[in-house]
Amino acid sequence: MSNYMRRIASVFPIRLRAQLRGSARGYSLIELLVATAIVMILARLAVPVWTLIRQRGFDRAALSDVVNAGKALEAVDGTLTFSRTVVGPAAIPNLPGPRVSKGATLLVQRTKVGAKYNWYVRGKHGKGTITYYFQNGALTASKGKL
């Protein structure tokens, strides 16, 4: 072994030293293909689950926005009546506090029928699948469970 190889061998780890000498083997093509196939199978299983989790998150953001706007409408006193469509991210005009999440759209209404005031909130996230309704204290959804 030359002086150059001795100096390299003293610095590098054992496996690398063995590779420099030419006596150690690397991974075969078959081993690399099997490992790649396993990773691809796991990724194929994980992507639909990840998509479903994201969709549920968008639906829950819309649900939260609808509930917050509905509770804020409950707290409004006075003779104020209005109907607004709000696309997030934004504050809801005429309501103190709640904001609409990014990507969500809410229809917020407060109307007077006779001597009584009715309020209604409808909301959906652009990437979600469920539309939520909050009317006079009752929360419902277009499909699925709340």
Q: How many CA atoms lie within 13 A of 95 on its CB side?
A: 30
Contact 139, 67 (CB under 8 A): yes
> Percentages helix, strand, coil for the chain, rounded to the nearest 5?
45, 25, 30
Query: What pLDDT, on the 0 to 100 scale, is given for residue 96?
Result: 83
Q: What is the pTM of this model?
A: 0.71
| Burial (Cβ within 10 Å: 0-12, 13-18, ≥19) of residue 84 | middle
CB-CB contact of 86 with 106 (8 Å): yes
pLDDT tens figures, 31-83:
999 999 999 999 999 999 999 999 999 999 999 999 999 999 888 888 888 99
CB 65 within 8 A of CB 104: yes
What sign for the dihedral angle of Cα 71, 111, 139, 62? negative
**pLDDT tens digits for range 74-120:** 888 888 889 999 998 999 988 888 899 999 999 999 999 888 889 99
Element holding 140 (H helix, E strand): strand 138-141
Helix, strand, or coil here: 24? coil
